[in-house]
């Protein structure tokens, strides 16, 4: 081993320690927050649920312009009107993120009519809430196309310009189910797990790109229409998150350039437990919390 390699090897533990200490300190004393006054934010699925709260939060935090994408005009229009009333310029476009051609076409329209997108929030998703055998093949494909592939197309459409401008942020509203899947929603968990891999790869891939960052948020069950009817065994012990809290934490993570956020923070324990406990112990935790059966009462909307 030459001297240079030896020095790098010896330095690595020190660098890791330094990063860990820095992250610990930043947890309590976050650095300067990004000023959003020059940012054009595009939110997929911005018409309702967490997307609508994200639009409100970005507007509250001073974003310059907001663009909402979705399939249902009424929700998009209502949210757009609300954001305009708040004093922030807002536009909406009908766009199915699963349709690659439509994404590229609408991205061009956005660039021409509104300007360069500097923050892209990949939030749109669907859940069917059925087991593998009960799902028809088209439904299984649909969730992969919307929840995973949709992000490929939107990111390909907007990232190149962010890299040119040396300013931009790609956000993914993922789910804790990407790390801890449950039965009864196998396609959703799979799509979220591949979406997490997509974001992990993108985050590392953008390391040497000045001004461009990534944020992935992994929330626990949140009180929107998406998982309506789902019942955990101890709702008082594991209450659903409020969508406004998810939105606040997401916008704050963008402003502090935080790469990964687990919501609530106690979900960090789940990640550690998954690495150290045997499968049988994990199964006991699932049995105790009722995640084996929580989708039996599901009656959400796709």
Ligand X SMILES: NC(=O)c1ccc[n+]([C@@H]2O[C@H](COP(=O)([O-])OP(=O)(O)OC[C@H]3O[C@@H](n4cnc5c(N)ncnc54)[C@H](OP(=O)(O)O)[C@@H]3O)[C@@H](O)[C@H]2O)c1
**Which of 30-57 are b and which e, b meaning 16 or more Cβ less than 10 Å from the residue's Cβ?**
eeeebebeebbbbbbbbbbbbbbbbbbb
Among 70, 129, 168, 213, binds ligand X (CB under 6 A): 70
Helices 279-289 and 267-276 meet at what angle, rounded to 10? 150
Residue 151 as a binder of ligand X (CB under 6 A): the answer is: no
Tell me the closest approach of the beta carbon of residue 282 to ligand X, in angstroms: 20
Q: How far apart are CA 35 and CA 32, in angstroms?
A: 9
The number of residues making up the chain comes to 302
Among 41, 59, 126, 261, binds ligand X (CB under 6 A): 126
The verdict on whether 104 is a catalytic residue reads: no
Instruction: Please name the helix (run of DSSP H) or strand (run of DSSP E) that holds residue 217, with its range, or none.
Output: strand 212-219
Size of the site for ligand X (CB under 6 A): 29
> Quick one: tokens of 192?
């979220």
Looking at 92, 104, 188, 292, which residue is catalytic? 188
Interface mask (CB under 6 A) for ligand X, residues 219-248, using x and -? x-xx-xxxx---------------------
Per the CB < 8 A criterion, the answer to whether 281 and 55 are in contact is no
Looking at 61-172, list the stretches that DSSP marks H as alpha helix, in order from N- to C-terminal side: 73-85, 100-113, 137-144, 150-165
Residue 48 as a binder of ligand X (CB under 6 A): the answer is: yes
> Quick one: tokens of 154?
């939107």
Site for ligand X in 4-43 (CB under 6 A): none
Interface mask (CB under 6 A) for ligand X, residues 177-216, using x and -? ----------------------------------------
User: What is the binding site for ligand X (CB under 6 A)?
Assistant: 44-45, 47-51, 69-72, 75, 96-98, 123-126, 146, 173, 175, 219, 221-222, 224-227
- Would you name the residues annotated as active-site residues? 188
């Amino acid at each position: 081993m030459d001297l240079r390699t030896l020095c790098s090897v010896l330095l690595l533990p020190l660098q890791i320690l330094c990063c860990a200490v820095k992250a610990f300190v930043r947890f309590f004393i976050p650095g300067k927050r990004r000023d959003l006054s020059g940012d054009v934010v595009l939110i997929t699925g911005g018409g309702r649920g967490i997307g609508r709260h994200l639009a409100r939060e970005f507007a509250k935090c001073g974003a310059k312009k907001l663009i909402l994408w979705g399939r249902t005009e009424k929700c998009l229009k209502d949210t757009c009107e609300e954001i305009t009333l708040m004093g922030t310029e807002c536009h909406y476009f009908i766009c199915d993120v699963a349709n690659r051609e439509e994404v590229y076409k609408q991205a061009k329209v956005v660039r021409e009519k509104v300007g360069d997108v500097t923050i892209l929030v990949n939030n749109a998703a669907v859940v069917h809430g059925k087991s593998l055998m009960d799902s028809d093949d088209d439904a299984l494909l649909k969730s992969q196309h919307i929840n995973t592939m949709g992000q490929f197309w939107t990111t390909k459409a907007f990232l190149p310009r962010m890299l040119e401008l040396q300013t931009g942020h790609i956000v993914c509203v993922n789910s804790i189910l990407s790390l801890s899947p449950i039965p009864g929603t196998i396609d959703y968990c799979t799509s979220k797990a591949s979406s997490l891999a997509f974001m992990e790869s993108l985050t590392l891939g953008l390391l040497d790109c000045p001004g461009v960052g990534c944020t992935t948020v992994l929330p626990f069950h949140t009180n929107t229409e998406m998982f309506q009817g789902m019942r955990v065994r101890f709702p008082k012990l594991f209450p659903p998150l409020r969508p406004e809290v998810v939105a606040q934490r997401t916008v704050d993570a963008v402003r502090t350039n935080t790469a990964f956020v687990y919501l609530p923070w106690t979900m960090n324990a789940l990640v550690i437990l998954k690495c150290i406990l045997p499968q049988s112990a994990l199964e006991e935790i699932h049995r105790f919390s009722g995640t084996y059966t929580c989708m039996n009462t599901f009656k959400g909307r796709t």
